[in-house]
Amino acid sequence: MGFALLVTFACLSFPQRSVVTGKLSSQDLAAIEFLVHRTNGRKPILPDYSWQSLRRLPQAIVRPRDRILSIAASNGVVQVEALLAAPRGKGITRGVTYKLQQSSNAWDITAHQFWIGPESLR
């Protein structure tokens, strides 16, 4: 039981990294990822260390989550492709492509386009 819990936490601590092309600083990359996840409605698995958060941990682990596939930067414009959280068993994948620009130390979404694809994109 303890080993399985340890493996689960290890997998959650090291999520799959998205493919990044172009030059972005680590601060810019973190800000872009935070903005995209917040826009997609991602909630943290363990928001704080209260008993209520610990009781909700099993539900939070199995909750569908979004995933960033790629981040491409060129000429001051960043394009991000992300899979949206969707319940399993539907056979389709929903995603979104964002275009972002930096304005005075903040990243803003300037355009977005939703798309639907086959299950094989996961």
Q: Spell out where 12-89 has E strands.
A: 19-21, 67-74, 77-83
Question: For residue 6, is it within any domain?
Answer: no
The amino acid at residue 40 is N
At residue 53, the 3 state secondary structure works out as helix
- pTM for this entry: 0.69
Question: For residue 7, is it within any domain?
Answer: no
**Which segment of 2-11, 16-25, 45-54 scores lowest on mean pLDDT?**
2-11
Question: For residue 1, is it within any domain?
Answer: no
pLDDT, residue 60, reads 77
Q: Are 100 and 110 in contact (CB under 8 A)?
A: yes
Average pLDDT, the chain: 79
Q: Are 35 and 86 in contact (CB under 8 A)?
A: no
pLDDT, residue 76, reads 85
Question: For residue 5, is it within any domain?
Answer: no
Question: For residue 31, is it within any domain?
Answer: yes
Distance from C-alpha of 76 to C-alpha of 100, rounded to nearest angstrom:
9
**37: containing domain:** 18-121
Residue 6 pLDDT level (bands cut at 50, 70, 90):
very low
CATH number of the domain at 23, please: 3.10.450.630
- For residues 4 and 24, the model is more confident at 24
